[in-house]
Structure 1
Amino acid sequence: MHKALFALTLITGTIMSISSNTWFGIWMGLEINLLSIIPLMSKPNSPISAESSIKYFITQALASSVLLATIISMKTMNNMASSILIESVMLTKMGAAPFHFWFPEVMEGLTWNINLIVMTWQKLAPMVILMYSPLIIKFTLMIIIASMLISGLMGINQTSLRKILAFSSINHIGWMLSTILFMETLWLIYFTVYSIIVIPIVQFMEKLNLSHIKQFMAAMDKSAIKMMFVLNFLSLGGIPPFMGFFPKWLAIQGLIENGLTLLALFMVVLTLVPLYFYTRLSLTSLVMYQQKISQEMPNTQSKSVYIMNSLSIVGLLT
């Protein structure tokens, strides 16, 4: 019952932030959102989840303090300084590089369902605020390149599935930020497609209780599960003709049309590194023989999960 209440206030805080017409209202909405998700993160008799909750709270509270200080002193600051501070706060709350150091560590100690909220819903309010805020183009370009470069380099040797998806999320933040530069609403299409793809992946991870690559490989003993994972990971990587390629294609097209061809080229090249995680997880599970886990695998034939899987690979039909 209390979780449903906190989930409701979590949604309320986000809606309050994105619909407010004052900076103080935005700050209040973000604080309500933060205070609502902490109880959802906490797990009884779990020091790891408690540690992750504390790390998340400290990071978000620090960012909120900087935002409040910026709001109070906004009239005495020049526009560039206040814009950079507000943008940095929102990037910290999302986990974009180089403000990302808390993100993989927090995800490592949380349950898959809470990680799904952190990777999707918790990015909504900061992205909307960035959409309506005056951005410093050079600073934003640095963040985009840093997010894509760092996520690729730091994720390439990871064996933890949670950290792999965390660095994948940072990479997708770079793509979403690039769309804000030329079309304010395109990021929402990207965000929606990303959510549709990542939901079935996280649901399968949660149902099979997977944490590391070895467990992932061993769990791939059913051909149907194998195919679902492979198609979703390839779609997450943006490989054509899967659904995940569609928003990236729109982003590249928009960047080129707006004279940001060099940025589009950098982004395409830097995306090749994260593709390694996806191919390592997906293709190796297809071609390598793995022994079955001794324990009985839980039933993963959920109608909602299969519906989301169907949506995530709909690009094959177009």
Structure 2
Amino acid sequence: MNKAYKMLFLSTLVTSTMISISSYSWLGMWLGLEINLLSIIPLMHDQKNILSAESSIKYFITQAMASTIILMSIILMMNKTSMTANSTLQSSFMLMMNSSLLTKMGMAPFHFWFPEVMEGLNWMNCLLILTWQKIAPMVLLMYNMKFTMFMTIIIISAMVISGIMGVNQISLRKIMAYSSINHMGWMISSMMVMETIWFYYFMIYTLISINVVMILKTMKIFFLNQLFQSMNSKMMTKMFFILNFLSLSGIPPFLGFMPKWLTVQVLIQNNMIMLPTVMIVMTLITIFMYMRIVLSTILMNINEINWNPTLNLTKFSKFYLAMMNFFTITSLMLVTILFNLL
């Protein structure tokens, strides 16, 4: 029964996102977002995790508040008297809607609920929040991408907040949350100039996130001290994790570098020089966070840990980890060779 209802809510979660992004009206998009919210709350419930109820309530309150503001801004924009009013009023309603969509996806500076909710969830729910739950708000934001200055401020604040707050964390779930905020800044900047690059970025980010989360889930790791200890006995898994984490940071020669490279290129082609410059400089703080974890994982051996679970990897798990990690590590090199050949 447990699996049956999870499959039911998972199917409605997928359907609601499709309804939202394929709707012809703002009201249909809002309806899709509401179904999406009501679908993920039961999936968050976990009897083995006492913090899941708290996370569910926090998530529900934040999302419901954002949905209310979206609906209010839709009604105000559709109102005939406001339609005939000056364009400043219309712009303010659109800014309200954009801010609500940014709140829904957990983008800085509307991010305060995001790391807290992540902290109370298991890894599979974290993966849903990091990847699938970003699709609908981002696509709706793409339809409404008119305020370049507002979006620039949002992007730069995301870079600053994710870097500074991420360095200060010991929980891997919170580190992944701040990492997601940083990547969302890059995604929104690519969305401003070319939607195709946003799609590439999102797909590559999702692939790398799945790899990192699956390794952490398999080894039952939630905190940095567990990471340092658990990785010592499993050298191959340690290397897979380190290479994927470096790919997530977006440094060459890993696959995660490619969407950032494309984003910087299209921004410069559109004469936006300052934005990518600031983004690259601010992302260096986040890269420092990744590098510190990677170097500590390689060098440190900590005996004082919260718990050290026994690890039994199946043959399928080993094969999956090996294949997916090989793909993410070598893809950038293969894509570059293909581009040069073409």
Query: Where on the TM-score scale, by shorter chain, does this alignment land: which range?
Result: over 0.9
Aligned CA distance change for structure 1 residues 295 and 50 (closer, same or farther; 3 Å): closer
Residue deviations 1:25-58 (CA, integer Å, cap 9, x gap): 0000000000000000011264310000000000
Residue deviations 1:71-99 (CA, integer Å, cap 9, x gap): 11113263211221111111001100000
1:32 counterpart (35, 60, 63): 35
1:84 counterpart (95, 104, 110): 95
Residue 176 (structure 1) aligned with residue 192 (structure 2): no
1:244 counterpart (256, 275, 285): 256
Corresponding residue of 2:144: 133
- Counterpart Cα distance in 2 of 1:305 and 1:18: 32
CA contact 2:45–2:52 (8 Å) conserved in 1: yes
Aligned partner of 2:53: which letter?
A
Corresponding residue of 1:266: 278
Normalised by the length of structure 1, the TM-score is 0.96
CA contact 2:155–2:189 (8 Å) conserved in 1: yes
- Counterpart Cα distance in 1 of 2:19 and 2:196: 19
- Counterpart Cα distance in 1 of 2:314 and 2:279: 35
Other structure's SS at 2:252 match: coil
CA RMSD of aligned residues (A): 1.6
Corresponding residue of 2:156: 145
- Counterpart Cα distance in 2 of 1:228 and 1:202: 12
1:218-237 matched pairs, under 5 angstroms: 218-221=229-232, 222-237=234-249
Structure 2 portions without partners, runs of 5+ = 84-88, 335-342
Deviation larger for 168-177 or 40-49: 40-49
Corresponding residue of 1:276: 288
Aligned residues: 318
Residue 162 (structure 1) aligned with residue 173 (structure 2): yes
Residue 305 (structure 1) aligned with residue 321 (structure 2): yes
Corresponding residue of 2:15: 12
Runs (4+) of structure 1 exceeding 6 A deviation are none
Corresponding residue of 2:75: 72
Normalised by the length of structure 2, the TM-score is 0.89
Structure 1 portions without partners, runs of 5+ = none
Aligned CA distance change for structure 1 residues 208 and 294 (closer, same or farther; 3 Å): closer
Query: Cα distance, 1:295 vs. partner?
Result: 4.4
CA contact 1:107–1:162 (8 Å) conserved in 2: yes
Query: Cα distance, 1:317 vs. partner?
Result: 3.4
Aligned CA distance change for structure 1 residues 295 and 155 (closer, same or farther; 3 Å): closer
- Counterpart Cα distance in 1 of 2:168 and 2:157: 18
CA contact 2:226–2:308 (8 Å) conserved in 1: no
User: What percent of counterpart residues are identical?
Assistant: 50
Corresponding residue of 2:339: none
Corresponding residue of 2:298: 286
